[in-house]
Amino acid sequence: MNKKSFIILRKTAALLLILFFVFGFNFPFVLKNSQAAAVSSLNGQYTVKLKSAADFASLLGLSGSIKRLFIGSSSPVFQNIYSFNSNFSLSDLKNSLSNKYEYLEPVGQTVAAQVVVNDPGFTSDSQNIDKEWGIVKTGFNQAWEKTVGSRNNIVAVIDTGVDETHEDLKSINYVPGFNFISNQAIGIGSNSDDNGHGTLVAGVLGATANNGIGVVGTNWNISLMPIKALDSMGKGDANTIAQAIVWATDNGVQFINLSVGGVGFGHDTTLANAISYAFNKNVLLVAAAGNDTNTTGQSLDQNPIFPVCDDNNYNMIIGVVATDQNDLKADFSNYGRNCIDVTAPGKRILSTINFDPLTKKSSPNSYAYASGTSMAVPFVVGEAALIKAVYPTATNIQIRDRIISTAYPVDSANLSQCGGASCQGLLGAGRIDVLKSLQSVISQNFSEGDLVKATDLGVVYQILGGQKRLISSFVFNQRFSSTPLKYAVSTQLSGYPEGPYVTPNDNTLIKIDTEPDVYMVVSGQKMPITYQVFQERKYNFSNVNTLSFAEVASWPTGSFLPPLEGTLIKTYNNKTVYWVIGQALHAINFGFYMDRGLNIFPIMLAPDSDIKSFAAGEPYIK
């Protein structure tokens, strides 16, 4: 689970909380939902339609500046119309112009309708970090004029559970979930969260609007499916997350919120297969970039974490970086070109909570400020649910591409936030823009999988996963030599963020020209190969392809390529023996070793560091 920080507003201090909201925030607000655009007069500005062009001289001396309107129109309806400023009152102007005009009116200013709710934590100020600044920063309050969501959209919150009894969450529409820790169903109206993290996520997604308490979620109408895959300490494993993804998919969700991940989640075939299963069933998955280094975050290109980087080379997961109210990458947030698609608010986010992370005690009906990429994920899931509410037939790919293509670029604001250097190209397409993503027409010139040659640059891209991915000459000759091309100039591709290079075919052996390390390409990742495994698999250096540093560095590094299936392996200094089954190393005890008759087979020896770098499976014990 991601590390995070909390400032909790405890229910035990309810009186202080109420006084703070009432007197500190000047509440209550007034709801103006679905209000028609208001029109108000701007004093001193007028529009006049004169009966004749010859009457124009009559305006001179009555106004400070005059502007003729509809110059290009030949229609009599729009002839001789002028806008002007004047210090005279409307009645004085009418008297002065006498019968020389057809109409004379004050200019009205149209003000776009605003949705304002009466929840104390809501704000229309994106700089007010003491309230829900992230809602307005991302444009949800404007998007609510178009839709407030739909209960037909079901989001699986795979987390520590959700407190459905919380005062600000009990009105949400829930569907039955599952607790993978206790292996029991989660009934509607129950509290399955013994940590608080999942309840924080649920608050960002769907806290009740206009109930006069707490906060408001990104969607006023939404259905949540609580799935408990993390224990009371916020810990879990890849197998449980995989089970949760498959269960949610089989039970009808359209979206999966994965505010989980970190260095403890290595690349896992079962998890990758679960993600692929959900994606191919038209489910949209969104995952956190992670908070693995509190000072600067880390590059996921160099140190990928999962599940955010487990996109199976088809961008099956929208990866989210956390930013603050100024669009600066939060200091704790990871970043990278490969696994990141967008940014969203993730610093000092006010939401619902039911558990005090400091005292480890229950704190019902409470609220907290939380920071972490975990909090950025539900903003993106909330955007996806609103898109689905407006366009119910949209596929997960279409929704993903809308989110990415309409994001607001923030690279220019982040000149030193990525390891002390520029974040150029490392924050995906930028901060989500919810209102823009709901536009009826979003111009995308190409389809998923198209090969497009940018004629002004002389390079070929593949449109894949909502990104444009460069194709090197080696990969083009290996994979696409007979594939037809489309042609464009680079400006026509500007709506697509630049992703990693397109990878060679699976099982291709590669290396960088300046380094000795050899890798095998598997599912969009490069898997390092140890000398022992290279020898055991009878690979030949004449079959290793040398590629550029930029190309190879753009692909995430997976776990070490394992020895052949059935191989026994141990370190030089440790007695533990591992059995390679299903591309993973399973520790076995002596009883299992003897019972299966494995004692007749040779054991491969490897350095301690190598053992730790292979994918790990469950121990086999007798």
475: number of Cβ within 10 Å? 23
Please indicate whether residue 374 is annotated as part of the active site.
yes
Residue 503 in any domain: the answer is: no
pTM over 0.85: no
Residue 390 in any domain: the answer is: yes
Residues 67, 89, single domain; the answer is yes
Query: Torsion angle of alpha carbons 337, 331, 261, 154, nearest 10°?
Result: -90
* CA pair distance 346, 49, nearest whole angstrom: 53
Q: Could you tell me how many residues make up the chain? A: 622
Residue 602 in any domain: the answer is: yes
Quick one: pLDDT at residue 16?
23
Quick one: pLDDT at residue 297?
81
Q: Determine phi and psi for 14, rounding to 5 degrees.
A: -60, -40
Segments of the chain with pLDDT less than 50: 1-6, 8, 10-43, 109-113
Residues 252, 231, single domain; the answer is yes
Quick one: pLDDT at residue 442?
53
Could you tell me what percentage of the chain is helix, strand and coil, using 3-state DSSP and rounding each to the nearest 5?
25, 30, 50
Please indicate whether residue 159 is annotated as part of the active site.
yes
Average pLDDT, the chain: 86
Work out how many domains the chain is built from and give that number. Answer: 5
- 580: CB partners within 8 A, 6+ apart: 562, 563, 564, 565, 566, 567, 568, 569, 586
- What are the C-alpha distances in Å from 45 to residues 58, 82, 287? 17, 11, 52
Residue 618 in any domain: the answer is: no
Residue 443 in any domain: the answer is: no
Task: Tell the residue number behind the tokens 């023996």, with chain if given.
Answer: 577
Residues 478, 367, single domain; the answer is no
CATH number of residue 74's parent domain: 3.30.70
Residues 394, 543, single domain; the answer is no
CATH number of residue 433's parent domain: 3.40.50.200
**Secondary structure class of 89 (helix, strand, coil):** coil
Residue 189 in any domain: the answer is: yes
Residues 94, 127, single domain; the answer is no
Residues 372, 232, single domain; the answer is yes
Residues 102, 154, single domain; the answer is no
Domain end call among 111, 142, 172: 111
Residues 420, 478, single domain; the answer is no
Quick one: pLDDT at residue 3?
41
492-513 pLDDT per residue, tens: 888 788 888 999 999 999 999 8
Residues 167, 81, single domain; the answer is no
- What tokens appear for 402 in the block? 């809308």
Please identify which of the residues 223, 259, 363, 374 carries the catalytic annotation. 374
Residues 104, 246, single domain; the answer is no
- What tokens appear for 547 in the block? 């590629």
Residues 367, 405, single domain; the answer is yes
Please, are residues 590 and 534 in contact by the beta-carbon 8 Å criterion?
no
Residue 148 in any domain: the answer is: yes
Domain end call among 111, 136, 170: 111
Query: What is the domain extent for residue 574?
Result: 568-613
- 56: CB partners within 8 A, 6+ apart: 50, 80, 82
Residue 562 in any domain: the answer is: no
**Secondary structure class of 306 (helix, strand, coil):** strand
Please identify which of the residues 168, 193, 194, 197 carries the catalytic annotation. 197
Please indicate whether residue 166 is annotated as part of the active site.
no
Residues 481, 516, single domain; the answer is no
Domain end call among 111, 128, 143: 111
Please, are residues 131 and 141 in contact by the beta-carbon 8 Å criterion?
no
